[in-house]
Amino acid sequence: MRKTFLKALGSACTLSLLLSGAALADHTVKVGVIAPFSGPFAIWGKQFKDGVEVYVAQNGETAGGHTVEFIYKDSGGPNPSGAKSLAQELIIQDQVDYLGGLVFTPNALAVAPLIDEAQIPTVIFNAATSSIVMESEYFVRTSFSLWQVSEPMAQWAWDQGIRSVVVSVTDYGPGNDAQVAFGSAFEELGGTVLDAIKMPLQTTDFAPFMQRIKDQNPDALFAFLPAGPPTFAFVKSYNENGLPDAGIKFLGTGETDETNLQALGDAALGLTTAYHYSAAHDSDLNRAFTAKLEEMSPGSVANLASVGAYDGAHVLYEMIGAVGSDRTKAVDVVRGMEWESPRGPVSLDPVTRHITQNVYIRRVARDENGVLINEEFETIPDVPDLGLMQ
Ligand code: PHB
């Protein structure tokens, strides 16, 4: 009797083990991606999705035996309350275990309390104000921060003999970081910031700002605007208002974003930026990335968004592969993780959970086919988020 009971118990256990094994193996882990898919910044959502899909095509649909399902939600542009509602919907209704995406700083800040409470590891594919990652231990960032790229730009400008600048930034988190990072580094070196202009996020007419810059006759202008229609209009305005002819050099970060670059035409030639990724980065991995992107989505160009999402998918796969939906331990799995990205060698800082990476000084040039590219000509290796080191 006892023997039969034990045998029955044994097979019941085996069955339940088998079942749980099967359930584990078949378990689909869901990742919610919040990004603009409509409105003036809709290109960001497409670039994120393309980046994730290239990663999935190269690495398969499973991580550690778990099928990974990406669910995309349209946040439009900077929209903190909308982003928060979408995160709520993804967590409660769609039952996602992880989140990703987030272009705009205010949107990322708005989801921080939610991911903290629900313990949802969230990989930021873009939002680039330094302090965001301090708002929740569940944030990991695979993009860049304005501080990370603006401080090296100040050093490079000084080394070129530039001694006076006007700083002109969009008036919100990343713009403020760019202004303080560039301005303080440049002044510490001995340079002069003649003026710091804060431009409203909604601005579409940059002519008055260009006049104000021109009137002060600086050696250079240093700018930050969110990539998309604002950067495009700003660079056009810089040219149309005669700043290059007045000898005012253009220094920036993402203003020569690849998705707008060809449309800028010759006006973009010579613009100098400090950034973490160029579609023209010279590596086999980047060539494989851009070729796959072109194959899967003809005409699509790689930019900061697609590489942020591609590397974001990699981090999500590492977490899911190690812990599946037992997500409370997921962030610890990737602290200190190192890998090669299409942008170059990168790692995740074990404390800040922000990506450490090379910063490249680039100049817009034409390649051998006449295509405008961000040509990297100087590398500052292994730069952490300098804003979090203050
Ligand atoms: C941000 O809101 O953090 C942001 C948006 C667009 C960029 C960079 C930063 O190009």
SS (H, E, C) 54-107: HHHHHHCCEECCEEEEEEEEECCCCCHHHHHHHHHHHHHCCCCCEEEECCCHHH
* Residue 286 Cβ contacting ligand 1 at under 6 Å: no
Q: What angle do CA 318, 126, 372 make, to 5 degrees?
A: 110
Whether residue 167 is found in the same domain as residue 264: yes
Separation of CA 66 and ligand 1 centre (Å): 32
**Chain position carrying tokens 């982003």:** 83
Q: Which CATH number covers residue 62?
A: 3.40.50.2300
- Looking at 2-11, 31-40, 175-184, 374-383, which range is the least confident one? 2-11
Name the pLDDT band for 27 (thresholds 50, 70, 90). confident
Whether residue 195 is found in the same domain as residue 174: yes
Would residue 23 count as lying in a domain?
no
pLDDT at 390: 67
Would residue 78 count as lying in a domain?
yes
Name the pLDDT band for 6 (thresholds 50, 70, 90). very low
Residue 181: strand pairing partners: none
**Cα separation, 282 vs 357, whole angstroms:** 15
Name the pLDDT band for 5 (thresholds 50, 70, 90). very low
Top pLDDT among 215 and 27 is at 215
Separation of CA 7 and ligand 1 centre (Å): 62
What kind and span of H or E run contains 388? none
pLDDT at 26: 53
Would residue 155 count as lying in a domain?
yes
pLDDT at 388: 86
Whether residue 339 is found in the same domain as residue 308: yes
**Inter-residue contact 150 to 361 (CB < 8 Å):** no
* Residue 225 Cβ contacting ligand 1 at under 6 Å: no
Would residue 9 count as lying in a domain?
no
- Domain with 188, as residue range(s), is 147-275+360-389
- pLDDT tens-digit series, residues 305-327: 999 999 999 999 999 999 999 99
Taking residues 163-176, what's their average pLDDT?
98
Name the pLDDT band for 199 (thresholds 50, 70, 90). very high
Would residue 16 count as lying in a domain?
no
Would residue 321 count as lying in a domain?
yes
DSSP string, 335-371: TT-EEEETTEEEEE-TTT-BEEEEEEEEEEEE-TTS-
pLDDT at 3: 40
Whether residue 152 is found in the same domain as residue 271: yes
- pLDDT tens-digit series, residues 56-110: 999 999 999 999 999 999 999 999 999 999 999 999 999 999 999 999 999 999 9
pTM attached to this predicted model: 0.93
State which of 79, 104, 124, 277 you would mutate to test the pocket of ligand 1, scoring each by most atoms of that ligand within 8 A of its C-beta.
104
Q: What angle do CA 152, 275, 389 make, to 5 degrees?
A: 50
Structure tokens, 210:
């260009």
Residue whose Cα lies nearest atom 8 of ligand 1: it is 226
Residue whose Cα lies nearest atom 9 of ligand 1: it is 128
Separation of CA 260 and ligand 1 centre (Å): 15
Whether residue 232 is found in the same domain as residue 378: yes
Separation of CA 146 and ligand 1 centre (Å): 9
Computed over every residue of the chain, the mean pLDDT equals 93
Whether residue 153 is found in the same domain as residue 241: yes
Q: Is the pLDDT of residue 8 over 70?
A: no
Q: Is the pLDDT of residue 221 over 90?
A: yes
Nearest-atom index, ligand 1, CA of 231: 10
What sign has the CA pseudo-torsion 316, 322, 327, 331? negative
Residue 2 DSSP SS3: helix
- pLDDT tens-digit series, residues 156-167: 999 999 999 999
Would residue 1 count as lying in a domain?
no
Whether residue 77 is found in the same domain as residue 198: no
Total number of domains constituting the chain:
2
**Inter-residue contact 169 to 151 (CB < 8 Å):** no
Residue 246: partners with Cβ closer than 8 Å, 6 or more residues away: 214, 217
28-35 β-sheet, strand order: 62-63, 66-74, 28-35, 98-101, 122-124, 139-141
Taking residues 291-303, what's their average pLDDT?
96
- pLDDT tens-digit series, residues 131-154: 999 999 999 999 999 999 999 999
Residue type, 49: K
What kind and span of H or E run contains 115? helix 105-118
* Residue 106 Cβ contacting ligand 1 at under 6 Å: no
DSSP string, 187-214: HHHT-EEEEEEEE-TT----HHHHHHHH
Report the C-alpha dihedral over residues 300, 305, 308, 309, rounded to 10 degrees: -60
Would residue 12 count as lying in a domain?
no
Separation of CA 179 and ligand 1 centre (Å): 14
Structure tokens, 289:
């990335």
Whether residue 157 is found in the same domain as residue 90: no
Whether residue 308 is found in the same domain as residue 197: no
Structure tokens, 221:
């202008």
Whether residue 151 is found in the same domain as residue 135: no
* Residue 102 Cβ contacting ligand 1 at under 6 Å: no
* Residue 127 Cβ contacting ligand 1 at under 6 Å: yes
Task: Return the half-sphere exposure (C-beta side, CA atoms, 13 A cut-off) of residue 1.
Answer: 0
Q: Is the pLDDT of residue 186 over 80?
A: yes
Whether residue 133 is found in the same domain as residue 151: no
* Residue 230 Cβ contacting ligand 1 at under 6 Å: no
Residue whose Cα lies nearest atom 7 of ligand 1: it is 226
* Residue 256 Cβ contacting ligand 1 at under 6 Å: no
Separation of CA 8 and ligand 1 centre (Å): 60
Residue 253: partners with Cβ closer than 8 Å, 6 or more residues away: 146, 149, 150, 153, 178, 224, 273, 274, 275
Q: Is the pLDDT of residue 228 over 60?
A: yes
Whether residue 135 is found in the same domain as residue 214: no
**Inter-residue contact 276 to 288 (CB < 8 Å):** no
